Copies of this chain bind each other. A is one copy, B any other.
Amino acid sequence: MSEALTGLELRSTVTSGGELQLTLAEVTLDPPGPDEVIVRVEAAPINPSDLGLLLGPADIATMKAGGTADRPTLTATIPPQRMRAMTARLDEPMPVGNEGAGTVVQAGENARHLLGKKVGMIGGAMYTQYRKLPARDVIILPEGASAADGASMFVNPLTALGFVETMRAEGHKAIVHTAAASNLGQMLNKICLADSIPLVNIVRNDVQAAILRGIGATHIVDSSAPDFEAVLADAIAETGATIGFDAIGGGKLAGQILNAMEVAANRNATGYSRYGSTTYKQVYIYGMLDPGPTIINRTFGFSWGLCGWLLTPFLMKAGEEVIARLRQRVADELKTTFASHYTATISLADALRPEIVEAYERKTTGEKYLIDPSA
């Protein structure tokens, strides 16, 4: 019999008094069941998709450090008008962290073969020292891969592959992507280059454009340029892109993409169509780098869709077979296509220090933080 394991786990609480509280809670895990394993977490990324749960809608300018050096706490104020959406999580300490990787330190009787193996995992509550989960929810990392290599093998890789699957399933042949120099965007470029899928990359400045040129991207459009919309329409006409994935959400960009698709479609039109082109134009919003309102100038007829896109519903709809195929590709190309680069590796305690929160909350393109709870 294995002994019970005790470790620290990061918890995020939104109090009914309007305060965000981050703490490290001591958690004791009973030995795993027959089909379960316990993993010592050695690497867990801070993805943009983790920040909503971690920080809620707190005003980070109000952050205050507390507690001790070993067991720090962090508090911040939540503006009252942002409390409405918080009802369902009030006063409940939430564990955080979508994905991670580490070493299997205890295994149930049907999972003995995993003992000592480095594995990748998805399932939440990864900002913790020990994580118990069903054996079927871990993937053994390929030979020579470290926990850091495997820490981000789910969210970004499956999202990027999911875009390509969605494109194919819906009958499109080229893609537009925003915030295109992100970790995810770089992966998408590598996939599209390998699979010969034309990709229009929208970036916000020269530095981001240079990152993408460096990995071989061909269509790069800078949304800060004065001729942005014309250049975007040209790139879309050239590639035939009729589907876009937008990480930003707020502002006019999603509508500008739909409009550029319409302009491109009308270049080949033979006559005036009073309700816009018959070309179906689709943009998915999958992130909210800009939480402000989406503003859509409907200059593109009625043959269009603007929808939310999220990894989990996509995978559920895609089914087991597709999931297995995508996971296999991620494992096969873990150190090439799906390699992630980290700005810094921090400890669980570091993740609660105001100056570090400020850094990882900034979501600077290409910057990404990794938590090593075993540090």
Could you say how many copies of this chain the assembly holds? 2
**Residue A375 interfacial (CB < 8 Å):** no
Decide: B297 and A308 in contact? CB cutoff 8 A.
Answer: no
Residues in B neighbouring A294, C-beta threshold 8 A: 295-296, 298
Decide if A274 touches B53 in the complex (CB within 8 Å).
Answer: yes
A264-275 interface mask toward B, CB cutoff 8 Å, 1 = contact, 0 = none? 001001011111
Q: How far is the CB of A304 from chain B (nearest CB, A)?
A: 5
Identify the A interface with B (CB < 8 A). 49, 52-53, 85, 87-89, 92, 94, 249-250, 255, 266, 269, 271-276, 278, 285-286, 288, 291, 293-299, 301-310, 312-313
Given contacts A53-B274, A272-B94, A297-B293, contact A307 B308 (CB under 8 A): no
Q: Is the CB of A88 within 8 A of B306?
A: no
4 other A-B residue contacts (CB within 8 Å) besides A301-B308, A303-B310: A88-B269, A291-B298, A298-B308, A307-B307
Are A266 and B88 also in contact (CB < 8 A) when A53-B274, A293-B296 are? yes
A sample of 10 cross-chain residue pairs with beta-carbon separation below 8 angstroms, ordered by A number, consists of: A88-B269, A89-B272, A250-B298, A291-B298, A295-B295, A295-B296, A302-B313, A305-B307, A306-B306, A307-B307
Bound CA–CA A85/B301 (angstroms): 11
With A295-B295, A296-B293, A299-B85 known as contacts, the answer to whether A308 contacts B304 (CB < 8 A) is yes
- CB-based contact A307/B310 at 8 Å: no
State in angstroms the CA–CA spacing of A302 and B299 once bound together.
24
- Asked if residues A293 and B291 are in contact (CB atoms below 8 Å), the reply is no
* Residue from A255, A271, A288, A298 with most neighbouring chain B CB atoms (10 Å): A298
Tell me which of A49, A255, A276, A305 has the highest count of chain B C-beta atoms within 10 A of its own C-beta: A305
Cβ contacts under 8 Å, A274 to chain B: 52-53
In the assembled complex, which residues on chain B have CB atoms less than 8 Å from the CB atom of A266?
87-88
Residue with the highest number of chain B CB atoms closer than 10 Å, among A53, A269, A272, A310: A272
- Chain B residues contacting A271 (CB-CB under 8 Å) are 88
Q: Which residues of B contact A52 (CB under 8 A)?
A: 274-275
Chain B's nearest CB lies how many Å from the CB of A150? 23
The reply to whether B303 and A305 contact each other, CB–CB distance below 8 Å, is no
List B contacts of A286 (CB < 8 A). Answer: 302
B-side contacts of A278, CB under 8 Å: 313
Minimum C-beta distance from A263 to chain B (A): 10
Q: Hey, which chain B residues are within 8 Å of A276, CB to CB?
A: 308
Distance of A171 from chain B, by nearest CB (Å): 13
Q: Of all chain B residues, which has the CB nearest A304?
A: B308
Chain B CB within 10 A, most for which of A278, A297, A302, A306 = A302
In the bound complex, how far is the Cα of B291 from the Cα of A255, in angstroms?
Answer: 14
Tell me the nearest residue of chain B to A266, going by C-beta.
B88
